[in-house]
A and B are shown apart, each in its own frame.
Chain A
Amino acid sequence: MEIRVNPTRMELLRLRRRLAVARRGHELLKDKLDEMMKRFRRLVEENRRLRLKVEEALTEATGAFVMARALMGDHATDIATAIPVVRVQLVAGARRIMNVLVPTFELRQEETAAGFPYGFAETSGELDVAIALLRESLAELVRLVEAEKTVELLAAEIERTRRRVNALEYVLIPQLEEKVHFIAMKLDENERATRTRLMKIKSLVERMGEG
Chain B
Amino acid sequence: MSTLKIGLIGEEQDIRAFRALGLDLFPVSSPSEVAGILPDLIKSKEYGIILITEAVGEAARAIVEEAAGLPLPSLVFIPGSQGSRDFARERLRKIVERAVGMDIFAEKEGRV
Please report A residues at the B interface, Cβ cutoff 8 Å. 37, 40-41, 44, 47-48, 51, 54-55, 58-59, 61-63, 65-66, 69, 77-78, 81-82, 84-94, 101-103, 105, 109, 112, 130-131, 134-135, 138, 141-142, 144-146, 148-149, 151-156, 158-159
How many residue pairs link A and B with beta carbons under 8 A? The number is: 134
How distant is the Cα of A135 from the Cα of B19 in the complex, in angstroms? 11
In angstroms, Cα B25 to Cα A88, docked, is 13
Interface positions, chain B 47-105, Cβ under 8 Å from A, are 48-49, 51, 68-69, 71-72, 74, 76, 78-81, 83-84, 88-89, 92, 95-96, 98-100
**Complex formed: what's the CA distance from A130 to B20 in Å?**
10
Contact B98 A103 (CB under 8 A): no
Chain B positions within 8 Å of A, measured between CB atoms, are 1-6, 13-14, 16-23, 48-49, 51, 68-69, 71-72, 74, 76, 78-81, 83-84, 88-89, 92, 95-96, 98-100
- A144 proximity list for chain B (CB < 8 A): 76
From A84, A101, A102, A109, B19 is in contact (CB under 8 Å) with A84
Using Cβ atoms and an 8 Å threshold, which residues of chain B touch A101?
71
